[in-house]
Structure 1
Amino acid sequence: METKKNGPIGRPRGFDTDEALERAMLVFWEHGYEGAGTARLTKAMGISTTSMYAAFGNKEELFRKVLKRYTEGPSAYLARALEEPTALGVATAILAGVVRTTTRPAHPHGCLGVQGALSTSDSGQEVRDLLVAWRADGCSCIRERFQRAVDDGDLPPQTDPGLLARYVATFAYGIAVQAASGIGRDELQELADAALRNWPLI
């Protein structure tokens, strides 16, 4: 057998792990954690159960990798929005990003981070907790950005940055739920615009 200096050359994986992870993300996004059974996942990923476990770990570990991919991909609008020069620009970009991401024709509607584990059995408790922490982290990032806006005079001094961040986050999650229910992009964008019409509302 051909060898390297440090031992035998391992057999290369017979699939593209990046593409398999992308497909797994779409399955979890569409069906949620509970609905994404192993058979459904492996069929979409085009691999065997053995290969899935070897490459990604168990279902929960796969979901954690998928959530990271979702955060850095479809949900990356949040990180970009936080770089807007004004607090209103931040809120506008967040809601516009949610509308775009949750209504893309070629992707499942709704938000993986919102609906991924709203209803799970006891075995899915850790995933439910993971998504609660994921949403809380997003809200915390918005709050910190709004606090900076208060400190810089971009928001009135009496503004409660935590409450304002929770308002924007809650509205964003509501948009995601409405999108999953079939509400169209134009109507959702109108709702987003209306929510920010009297900025700041709090």
Structure 2
Amino acid sequence: MKDKKLDRACQEDMVMQKGHPDGCLLVQGALASGPVTDPIRIELNRRRAAAESAVRRRFERAITEGELPASVDPAKLARYFITVIWGLSVQATGGATRAQLKEVAEMAMRSWPKQP
């Protein structure tokens, strides 16, 4: 929570960096797959679930440390922001501009729980 600006900058760079494949392998890798790639899809699903769990645990810690209000449901908040972040990756791959992605990120951040 204290490194919000750094985290935000890293996320922006991850989805908009030139000279690298578009989007995120974790997100894009299994969107259009068939039975032959089931093992890959299963592994990517496992990794996405692990990423969401890591974010949830960080939010739980933020509640314990007083960075987030106790009324916050860390699982729901993690699911919401993971969905936004991965959705930004999909939009970036589809050609969204940095300005469009920034608008979405700013809208999502307006829903961030207020400090206790």
Q: Does the TM-score normalized on the shorter chain lie above 0.5?
A: yes
* C-alpha contact 1:147 1:161 (8 A) present in aligned 2: yes
Kindly provide the CA deviation profile for residues 41-93 of structure 1, in whole angstroms up to 9, marking residues without a partner as x.
Answer: xxxxxxxxxxxxxxxxxxxxxxxxxxxxxxxxxxxxxxxxxxx536xx28x71
Aligned residue for 1:198?
111
After TM superposition, the score normalised by the length of structure 2 is: 0.87
* Letter of the structure 1 residue corresponding to residue 113 of structure 2: P
Q: What is the Cα-based RMSD across aligned positions, in Å?
A: 1.9
Greater relative contact order (CA < 8 Å, ≥ 6 in sequence): 2
Match of 1:158 in 2: 71
- 2:2 is aligned, of 69, 85, 98, to 85
Give the percent of matched residue pairs that are identical in Structure 1 and Structure 2: 39
Between the aligned partners of 1:165 and 1:198, the Cα distance in structure 2 is: 13
Aligned residues: 114
Distance across 2 between alignment mates of 1:198 and 1:99: 18
How far off is 1:197 after superposition? 1.6
Q: Distance in 1 between matches of 2:40 and 2:111?
A: 37
Residue 173 of structure 1 aligns with an amino acid whose one-letter code is W
Structure with bigger gyration radius = 1
SS of match in other structure, 1:182: coil
For 2:35, the equivalent position in structure 1 comes to: 122
In the alignment, which of 40, 47, 53 is matched to residue 140 of structure 1?
53
Tell me the SS of whatever aligns to 2:68: coil
Pair 1:106 & 2:19 matched: yes
Instruction: Give the unaligned 5+ runs of structure 1.
Output: 1-83
Provide TM-score, normalisation by structure 1.
Answer: 0.52
Structure 1 position 97, deviation (Å): 2.6
